Amino acid sequence: MLSALPRATFTALAGSPTLKRLASRYAMGRAGRLARRFVAGETVSDAIDVARGLERDGFAVTLDLLATSARSSEQATQATRTYVEMIGEIERAGIDRNISVKLTQLGLDVDRATCIDNLRRILDAATPGDFFVRIDMERSRYTEHTLDAFETLWSIGYRNVGVVMPSYLRRAESYIRRLNTLGARIRLVKGAYHEPREVALQQKADVDAVFIELMHLLLREGTYPAIATHDSALVSATRQFAAANAIGPDTFEFQMMYGVRRDLQTSLSRAGHRLRVYVPFGQEWFPYFMRRLGEQPEHLGPLVRSLASF
């Protein structure tokens, strides 16, 4: 059965140049209805439309541009310009002023100093409109560089910026304590990449246990942390810890991806918790879409039938 395919298969499909070309050729055409369960569309206008609907339903939002890593200074400059233009469009639309960025898009693989300078340009554009910018954490080889970029800009006065910390990293607790000392806003996640054993925990039970420990640390000592998980057990653990320690729902928020666990998103919002939805969009939607299918493979059958009809 298609739904029995292992998650690694979907990761491999996400990197398939052939499938990616097919998806690009037909944009979000016939497969669009299914893809749009997880991806807002290809343009910032698409994302803004989705964000408006989510806000009407009582959710906070953040826009997440799906793009490739920059391989040249010119590509990094263009990506930076795209983010600055996106900030302007969000401001004119009047939706939640919150975005996420990936440093590889800004030139981290090209030149770290240029990447930091590009991030600074984005923060400069975001500051007048009171935007918040979250730096996503990518593969473990980028962890120290990402924290260095964040701390460099923090040290010169930028406060409209936060970071992501995966609980599967073996050094996650020391990183969080270091960031808590600064007063940084941290988004806690499990972690999305296949990492070597010496860098990251390998077993789900271990990752979950550390996630709970780090959640406790962030709720006790952090600055408006974001608890990002679709795992109902971890959500329940967070709610129970907050209630037992008189930690109000206005001091932290839950975060989830667009189209994932909509039932849980709705129940949390109705229970009075702030729930922020990550709204991904962009022309590089196919790899992201396939990774989401790996989490919910029951949707693969309709996709295959749709593509077969081209």
pLDDT level of residue 35 (50, 70, 90 thresholds)? confident
The answer to whether residues 164 and 158 touch, using CB atoms and an 8 Å cutoff, is no
* Statement: residue 131 has pLDDT above 70: yes
Rounded average pLDDT over 102-110: 97
Specify whether the backbone of 6 is left (phi greater than 0), alpha (psi in -120 to 50) or beta. beta
pLDDT level of residue 223 (50, 70, 90 thresholds)? very high
Rounded average pLDDT over 248-255: 97
* Statement: residue 14 has pLDDT above 70: no
* Statement: residue 130 has pLDDT above 90: yes
Q: CA-to-CA distance for 271 and 102, rounded, in angstroms?
A: 32
pTM value? 0.87
Q: Which residue has the higher pLDDT, 26 or 108?
A: 108
pLDDT value at position 36? 82
Residues tagged active-site? 136, 187
Domains of the chain plus CATH, in order, are 40-281 (3.20.20.220)
Q: Which residue has the higher pLDDT, 17 or 103?
A: 103
Rounded average pLDDT over 245-250: 96
Provide DSSP, the chain: -GGGS-HHHHHHHHT-HHHHHHHHHTTTSTTHHHHTTT---SSHHHHHHHHHHHHHTT-EEEEEE--PPP-SHHHHHHHHHHHHHHHHHHHHHT---EEEE-GGGGTTTT-HHHHHHHHHHHHHHHTTTT-EEEEPP-SGGGHHHHHHHHHHHHHTT--SEEEEEETTBTTHHHHHHHHHHHT--EEEE---S---TTTB--SHHHHHHHHHHHHHHHHHHSSS-EEE---HHHHHHHHHHHHHTT--TTS-EEEEETTSSHHHHHHHHHTT--EEEEEEESTTHHHHHHHHHHHSGGGHHHHHHHHHT-
Q: CA-to-CA distance for 184 and 186, rounded, in angstroms?
A: 6
CA angle, 181 then 183 then 184, to 5°: 110
pLDDT level of residue 268 (50, 70, 90 thresholds)? very high
The answer to whether residues 130 and 146 touch, using CB atoms and an 8 Å cutoff, is no
pLDDT level of residue 214 (50, 70, 90 thresholds)? very high
pLDDT level of residue 21 (50, 70, 90 thresholds)? low
pLDDT level of residue 20 (50, 70, 90 thresholds)? low
What is the chain's mean pLDDT, rounded? 88
Rounded average pLDDT over 277-283: 94
Instruction: Tell me how long the chain is.
Output: 310
Rounded average pLDDT over 282-286: 85
pLDDT value at position 19? 52
Percent of the chain with pLDDT over 70: 83
pLDDT value at position 15? 52
What angle do the packed helices 204-221 and 172-182 form, to 10 degrees? 20
pLDDT value at position 299? 45
pLDDT value at position 289? 76
Q: CA-to-CA distance for 58 and 73, rounded, in angstroms?
A: 40
Rounded average pLDDT over 73-96: 97
CA distances from 252 to 65, 172, 184, 187, 224 (A): 24, 19, 13, 10, 5
Amino acid letter, 301: G
Rounded average pLDDT over 282-293: 78
| Start-to-end Cα distance in the chain | 23
Rounded average pLDDT over 7-11: 48
* 276: β partners: 60, 255
